[in-house]
Amino acid sequence: MANRTPLIIGITGGSGSGKTSVTNAISEVFKNHSVVVIEQDYYYKDQSHLEFEERLNTNYDHPLAFDNDLLIQHIGDLLNNKPVEKPVYDYAQHTRSKETITIEPKDVIILEGILVLEDERLRDLMDIKLFVDTDSDLRIIRRILRDIHERGRTVDSVVDQYINVVRPMHNQFIEPTKKYADVIIPEGGQNEVAIDLMVTKIKTILETDVIV
């Protein structure tokens, strides 16, 4: 790794907005260089002290669901050129797994998640803050398709969760963080122009002997 302070990019947006597509598109450009993606979803709080039935009531769209203290600690370690053990969340058991993933310090750290701009401490660590802004009708369709195919959910359960939890949490906690973004990207990964502009910006910030 080059002897420099890592560049930290925060990418956020509502569930199904396409933030992961934007993250993947940017990281793909730098895949042969020094970049790592840290997903906020991996930092859901450990709930092993709770009974399983209690865990089922977890609101994963609320800021209190995340262990931001650990996330901030890990980012601080990476900034100080120290590797970290990223937690793994077990969605089947609704708690943190005993497994971890070793993350080595990199020149570019992409922090991606629905609430990465909600915590001022996280915002203050970021050099670039992106908000992926996608219409709610597209977001719910993407969420339905994802949860049915990847998580074995029914349409009714996804829609019920969206109406009663996801939508109100989005309006209360996620949408307001748009004001903190340096760049707002409409339509997520489909917006190639915005992604190209961000890639160019990142390249200009990094030393040319590392990113070419």
Four-residue CA torsion sign, 68, 108, 131, 161 = negative
Q: Which domains does the chain have, with CATH numbers?
A: 7-202 (3.40.50.300)
DSSP letter for each residue of 8-76: EEEEEESTTSSHHHHHHHHHHHTTTSSEEEEEGGGGBPP-TTS-HHHHTT--TTSGGGB-HHHHHHHHH
Binding residues for ATP: 13-20
Q: CA 119 to CA 12: how far, in whole Å?
A: 12
* pLDDT tens-digit readout, 95-149: 999 999 999 999 899 999 999 999 999 999 999 999 999 888 888 888 888 888 8
Binding residues: 13-20
Mean pLDDT of 167-171: 94
pTM for this entry: 0.88
